[in-house]
Structure 1
Amino acid sequence: MDNSFLPYYLLTSALLFSIGLGVVVTKRNVIVVLMGIELMLNAVNLNLVAFSKNDPNLQGQMFSLFVIVVAVCESVIALAIILKAYEYFKTVNLDEINEVKEM
Structure 2
Amino acid sequence: MSDVTFGLLISAVIFAVGAMGVLLRRNPLVQFMSIELMLNAVNLALISFSASLGTEEGHIFVLMVLTVAAAEAVIGLGIIVGLFRKRNRIDVDDVHSMDG
Q: Same fold (TM over 0.5)?
A: yes
Q: Does the Cα contact within 8 Å between 2:4 and 2:52 map onto a contact in 1?
A: no
What is the aligned length? Answer: 100
Quote the residue 1:99 is aligned against. 96
Larger Rg: 1
2:66 aligned partner: 68
Find the aligned partners of 2:96 and 2:63 in 1 and give their Cα distance: 36
CA contact (8 A) 2:11 2:42 kept: yes
- Taking a change above 3 Å as real, the CA distance of residues 101 and 38 of structure 1, as seen in their structure-2 partners, is closer
Q: Deviation per CA, 1:11-69: give whole Å up to 9, x if none.
A: 10000000000000000111100000000000000000000014444010010011011
Give the share of equivalent positions with the same residue, in percent.
38
Q: Which consecutive residues of structure 1, in runs of 5 or more, have no partner in the other structure?
A: none
Task: Give 2:26's aligned amino acid.
Answer: R
Gaps of 5+ in 2: none
Distance 1:65 1:9 in 2: 18
Higher helix proportion: 2
CA-to-partner distance for each residue in 1:60-99, whole Å, 9 max, x for gaps? 001001101110110110000111111223211223x143
Q: TM-score, normalised by structure 1?
A: 0.87
CA 1:101–1:7: 2 relative to 1, 3 Å: closer
Q: Give me the TM-score of the superposition, normalised by structure 2.
A: 0.89
Give the structure 1 partner of residue 31 of structure 2: 33
